[in-house]
Structure 1
Amino acid sequence: MPTFGVLHDFRQKLPWSVSTATYYEECLGLISEAEELGYSAVWLSEHHGTPDGFLPSPLVAAAAIAMRTERMSIGTNVLILPLHHPLRVAEDAAVVHALSGGRLVLAVGQGYAPHEFAAFGIEHSHRPSRLEEGIEVIRRAWRDGTTGFQGRRFDVPDGPFEPRPPAGAPIYVGAVAPTAVDRAVRLGDGLVVYVTEYDDLAARYDVLLEALAQNDRDRASFPFVWTTMVHLADSSDQAWEEAAPALAYLESPLRDEHVQPADLPRDRLLVGTPDEVGDLLQEIHAEVPFDHLAFWARLPGLAVPQSRRSQQLFANHVIPRLT
């Protein structure tokens, strides 16, 4: 049966209404409440150069969350590995493992935004090779306790590596395109996909199944993580009125255009009452047996009470129907 998590990017829709410190504290409070409600994981995104404060340092946030939680996994969704030196990521992630008792799920991806790579002086075209070599550097350091590596993009002198995370500490890969999914299957321990319109999920799952078959990997031991948008309220209209502006805000940079709420396909999004969304997820899971679903616990622009209510409704009325 699937498990469920919450996702936070800590971005505050402009104009900001509270200080960054206050907003972070509010989100950390929601994360602590999510653990109490039984969510199994929290996921943290990464982006750079945004005016709304999109989380730029997910592993720093993961360390803070490790101190506020006891049981839930803490995942990155996703850390843009080509922007970083992989040895630095291996070290920071190992420290989060130590602080959390081995609860980190390091999920990485190659990224897509040219301005982010320009900001760090990294060639955009080097994303695939930096991702592949970066994963290898991290795995070797974690597995062997040594840092030696020589490749096209990275040349790391040999030396000791500590602290090491628990044996088998997972590295998931975020991917959508067939080539990227094939890379995820070859190099990763699980796949993370972001799909907002739920009827697109089956096609993404078919790509995964094909890649698993081509690489002779077992589906049962390769988790399929679906991240999406969910918002619940006591009525469909209330849920949509609250969520639609935030969903349009999230979709605008992805589509590279200014999206209006009226542009969104209301009948293809997980927004509504607990019964409506629960029915949809039961149908979806029967067709696409995702292992884990995580959703934005605080959509940009939503107040804490709205976010808390949605998270509570999902935990109390939707999760029991699928577990």
Structure 2
Amino acid sequence: MRIGLLFDLRNPAQWERPWADHYARTLEFCEEADRLGIGGLWFTEHHRFEDGYLPQPLTFAAAAAARTRQARIGTSVVIPALRHPALLAEEAAVVDLISGGRLELGIGAGYRVPEFQLFDVPYERRVTRAGEAVAEVRRLWRERTVTPLPLQADVPVWGGFYGPRGARLAGRLGMGHLHVSRSLFAEYTAGLEEGGHDAGTARVGGLVPLVLADDPEAAWVRIAPHLAHQKNTYRRGWSEGSDRPELPWLEPDPESPELRKFLRVLTPEQAAAEIRTMTRDLPVAHLIFWASIAGMPDDLVVRNMELFTGEIVPLFS
């Protein structure tokens, strides 16, 4: 099982730094995490976020790949419905080549209407089209229709799909499933069998909303405003441009029990116990944790990274 860190490159206005500096600093974090032994560096995608949420994860993944040597380089997730399959196949192949064969290609369906409007892509059938894109990318590689090809003969592909339907789809396509869930695992393995795949090839991974700190309560007070920003932008994005009801706004109050539901700030010892319970009897290949929560202070980011690489990675590698 590999322990990884997820970067979304948010740079909210209330904590904003110059964009070039922000990107450069994040690449430095990636380079240092790799030097310290992190198992994976993962990048995610959204568009039209006011805080500059990373819009092109494969582009940034290529930059991180060039600066690192050991960590797997992953997307969690890229949205294939917003790209032509041939473009996705080419971009992913280039990242795999630059990384020396370290790419983990995680894909998702997307859920924000404004993102599909930006690219003039229909919002309907987005889950189905994501699955179709995966099949097409694999065909393009298999038939050598695009060049150059990835270095890996079989690039690991992951489905970051929600719910029982998504878990079955990931299984039918022979993908890994980017959710660590016992209830969904049964649906996922059923999907593998439906697709004619050996259930013994099942592999899962996913994001765990957990940050490490030496003093969790002191860190929580500083992280809470950043977490409120993060969750409120997700909540706005959920309803924006759709007929979904608006979700209640979260106040950036460290004392809010509602806010605490979305993130655990723990010591390495506490985290290790939770990870053991969470992963028991599941074929977990990757656990992914936030490197930073929406522009949280660098000293917290650095210590979070140090504790994962120094305390958690040795326990689970």
Same fold (TM over 0.5): yes
Give the equivalent residue in structure 2 for 1:172: 158
State which of 188, 199, 202 in structure 2 corresponds to 1:222. 202
Describe the SS at the equivalent of 2:13: coil
Give the equivalent residue in structure 2 for 1:273: 267
Give the equivalent residue in structure 1 for 2:288: 294
TM, length-normalised to structure 1: 0.86
Q: How many residues were matched structurally?
A: 302
Seen in structure 2, the aligned counterparts of structure 1 residues 69 and 15 have a Cα distance that, compared at 3 Å, is: same
Which runs of no fewer than 5 residues in structure 1 stay unpaired?
A: 147-160, 196-200
- The alpha carbon displacement at 1:224 in A equals 0.4
Give the equivalent residue in structure 1 for 2:213: 233
| Corresponding letter in the other structure for 1:11 | R
Q: Partners of 1:249 and 1:240 in 2: how far apart?
A: 14
Seen in structure 2, the aligned counterparts of structure 1 residues 112 and 188 have a Cα distance that, compared at 3 Å, is: farther
| Corresponding letter in the other structure for 1:184 | A
2:101 paired with 1:102: yes
Give the equivalent residue in structure 1 for 2:242: none
More displaced stretch, 63-72 vs 12-21: 12-21
Give the equivalent residue in structure 1 for 2:226: 246
Describe the SS at the equivalent of 2:295: coil
4+ runs deviating over 6 angstroms:
none
2:154 paired with 1:163: no
| Corresponding letter in the other structure for 2:79 | I
The answer as to whether partners of 1:173 and 1:188 remain within 8 angstroms in 2 is no
The answer as to whether partners of 1:192 and 1:224 remain within 8 angstroms in 2 is yes
2:180 paired with 1:186: no
State which of 291, 299, 314 in structure 1 corresponds to 2:308. 314
Q: Describe how 1:1-323 pairs up with structure 2 within 5 A.
A: 2-146=1-145, 161-165=146-150, 166-193=152-179, 201-215=181-195, 217-256=197-236, 257=247, 258-260=249-251, 261=253, 262-264=256-258, 266=260, 269-286=263-280, 288-323=282-317
TM, length-normalised to structure 2: 0.88
More displaced stretch, 58-67 vs 284-293: 284-293
Describe the SS at the equivalent of 2:284: coil
The answer as to whether partners of 1:232 and 1:314 remain within 8 angstroms in 2 is yes
Q: Partners of 1:223 and 1:232 in 2: how far apart?
A: 25
Q: CA RMSD in A?
A: 2.1
Which runs of no fewer than 5 residues in structure 2 stay unpaired?
A: 237-246
- The alpha carbon displacement at 1:114 in A equals 0.8
- The alpha carbon displacement at 1:68 in A equals 0.3
Q: Partners of 1:120 and 1:42 in 2: how far apart?
A: 27
Describe the SS at the equivalent of 1:125: coil
Q: Partners of 1:184 and 1:269 in 2: how far apart?
A: 26
Q: Partners of 1:282 and 1:19 in 2: how far apart?
A: 40
Seen in structure 2, the aligned counterparts of structure 1 residues 242 and 213 have a Cα distance that, compared at 3 Å, is: farther
